[in-house]
Amino acid sequence: MIMAFAFYLGECSNNYAEIQAIKIGLKWCLDNGFRNLIIESDSLLTIHMINGNISTSWLLKYEIKKIQAMNAEGHIQFNHIFREGNSTADFLANLAEFKKYNSFFTTAINLPMQIISTLKNEKKRGPNFRIRVRKNTFIFDPG
């Protein structure tokens, strides 16, 4: 792990939150000399917007143009990843929403324990299962 962050955005749409997370992370990477990047998001819509495959509202378009401008500063790929492969980022987003403050982590040891375990699992490329309960029915969705 090089850096992780939890950033509280307040009330906003999920698409705006995804775009802001990409923009914040991308800016940190570029500011710290990382130029060869692969950005993964579990929002296929966001990836399509950034890659210019679909158009969007003016508010999102303004933020996406900022990301696209940063793209010129390095070799950056924007890829879709399934939700199960993005559990560390989801935990960090939930941490920010719950605690309502911003945190940057530059060492794994400072991460909350839940997040450390998901990070270790992702590093080993271990399976990540989504388990849900819906109206008294147990659902096991291996992705």
CATH of the domain at 60: 3.30.420.10
pLDDT value for 123: 74
pLDDT value for 6: 86
Beta strand ranges found along the chain (DSSP E): 4-6, 36-41, 75-80, 103-105, 130-134, 137-141
Residue 74 structural domain: 4-141
State the total domains in the chain.
Answer: 1
Question: What is the pTM (predicted TM-score) of this model?
Answer: 0.75
Q: With a cut of 70, list the residues of the chain below it in pLDDT.
A: 84-85, 125-143
Measured CA to CA, the distance from residue 26 to residue 2 in angstroms comes to 13
pLDDT value for 63: 93
pLDDT value for 125: 67
pLDDT value for 108: 79
Measured CA to CA, the distance from residue 38 to residue 75 in angstroms comes to 8
